[in-house]
Amino acid sequence: MGRPATPVGAYGAISVRERRPGVFSAETYYRESETRRVRVARDGKSAAAARRALVRALADWQAQSSAPTSPTVAELVEEVFRERARRWSDATCIAYRSTISGLINGMPLGDAPAAEPGDGPVPGSLGAKPITELTTADVSRLLAKVHSTTPGRVKTLRTLLSLAAGHAVTLGLIERNPVTGAAKFSDPYAHGSGHQPRVVDEAELAALRDAAARYDRGEFRTSGRHALVPVAPLIELGYAIAGRIGEVLSLRWDDVEGLDEPLSDGRVYITVRKSVSRVSREKSELMGRQLRGSYQVKDGTKNGVDRRVPLGERHIELLRRLPRTSEYILPNDKGGFQTQANVGRRLRRMMELAGIQNPERTNFTFHALRRTVATRIAESAGIEAAAFAIGDDPMVAKRHYVEKTTVQVPDYSHLLR
């Protein structure tokens, strides 16, 4: 028969250890209710001082007939997020905030679907749990649920939970990080995962160009002021510079050389040096910077490499035909820069109406054009040339941009007799 549980409102045996030279820690467990106990710790310069500090704290809690309230997972995640947001990029802040509201606070651990993000964690979610009750099984269950629907978000979710639980360990709220032993799930986009970059073949590229031309002629244009902005130049320039969508949207006429005044080599170049990106409102508030809309044009590309790209005749003629009504090559209807949000909606709608999505392959995204360019250059000039063209590291290009092909092995059969 096991020993009886500590009565509610009482605490167990006090243990003292030296955490580092000159710093001792006394700790015990306080029984808050029939089903819950809380670890309590206090430090001192000696073992006796630490024990006295702990006993005084416990006496105060007993006098108030209440134990210290354990913060919830959501509260600790929020504390960790706000402490680190200054060091994270806007894109990281946005991704982590989405994970907090949608998965940690908005997804119940049971079979119920995720709830709409609100002001706090929904009942039954991991965020609503006190950190002292968080178990490895809870973390594994949520990771498995997310992996079954959106596997690409598992890594971000695990990172946030691990940071919050690690912070709880530092505060003395829990003894160990329960995320450490949680189930591991493979990243579908990691090296060696078998993930195939989406590449557009010749037939799809022709269909895409045809659909864009029909869209711009008004054959199946949708309503709304953003629908008046053409999409064919966007697709062509994205293909010409192997650009991320934010890079293409940020292109200005000042970035073009040799179009009006011929250069000595007779070529026309366009330099990719900026990018339209989404802005984190929370980071802006923390940094005290003025926020003008949800998007902004930032200096520099994602990996900090400016690219001077020579253009072919097809894309030179495209630039000559485009009106110069704004500093931007592809402006919105008011003359400013376009954003990924309204462009993405138009592209998806165009693809649906044109009926050129291939159900046997991953649906087309704008980034597929960048991967297509990298693959074609790699096939003819090697991976180093492809990486140089897209402004990325060769290993990154090989892992995420170049479509994997079957290698032809030389005939060594005469050596194997």
pLDDT (0 to 100) of residue 60: 76
Euclidean distance between CA atoms 357 and 350, whole angstroms: 10
At residue 38's C-alpha, the angle toward residues 32 and 39, to 5°, is 145
Q: Could you tell me the residue ranges of all domains in the chain?
A: 15-63, 73-170, 202-250+309-401
Write the CA distances from 60 to 56, 68, 172, 174, integer angstroms.
6, 10, 18, 21
- The dihedrals phi and psi of 62, each to the nearest 5 degrees, come to -65, -35
CATH of 202-250+309-401, one of 2.40.50.140, 3.40.1050.10, 1.10.443.10, 3.40.50.300: 1.10.443.10
For 12-39, b where at least 16 C-beta lie within 10 A, e where not — what string? eebebeeeeeeebbbbbebbbeeeebbe
Closest CA to 135 of 103, 200, 181, 75: 181
- Report the distance separating Cα 30 and Cα 173, nearest Å: 12
Give the pair of three-digit tokens for residue 5.
């549980």
Residue 216 neighbours by CB under 8 Å, 6+ apart? 230, 231, 232
Name residues whose C-beta falls within 8 Å of residue 160's C-beta, 6 or more positions apart in sequence. 77, 80, 81, 96, 99, 100, 104
pLDDT tens for the chain, 417 residues: list them.
Answer: 456 667 777 788 899 988 888 889 998 887 766 556 777 888 888 999 989 988 888 887 666 645 456 788 988 998 898 888 888 888 888 888 888 888 888 887 765 555 455 556 887 888 888 898 899 999 999 999 888 888 878 888 999 999 999 988 888 888 899 999 998 887 655 544 445 557 888 888 888 888 888 888 877 655 555 456 788 999 999 989 888 899 999 999 999 999 998 899 999 999 999 998 888 777 777 666 665 568 888 888 877 888 898 999 999 999 999 999 999 999 988 889 988 887 887 787 777 766 666 544 555 678 888 888 888 888 888 778 777 777 766 666 666 666 666 555 566 656 666
First to last CA, the chain: 73
Q: What is the pairing mode between strands 269-272 and 307-310?
A: antiparallel
Q: Contact at 8 Å (CB) between 341 and 332?
A: no
pLDDT of residue 236: 92
pTM for this prediction: 0.64
- Domain covering 73-170 assigned CATH 1.10.150 in the classification: yes
Is the fold of 73-170 the same as that of 202-250+309-401?
Answer: no
| Total Cβ atoms within 10 A of residue 209 | 14
With contact defined as beta carbons under 8 Å apart, do 68 and 36 qualify?
no
Question: In the block, which residue shows the tokens 């902004």?
Answer: 296
- Report d(CA 377, CA 385) in Å as an integer: 7
Residue 347 tokens read as 């592209």
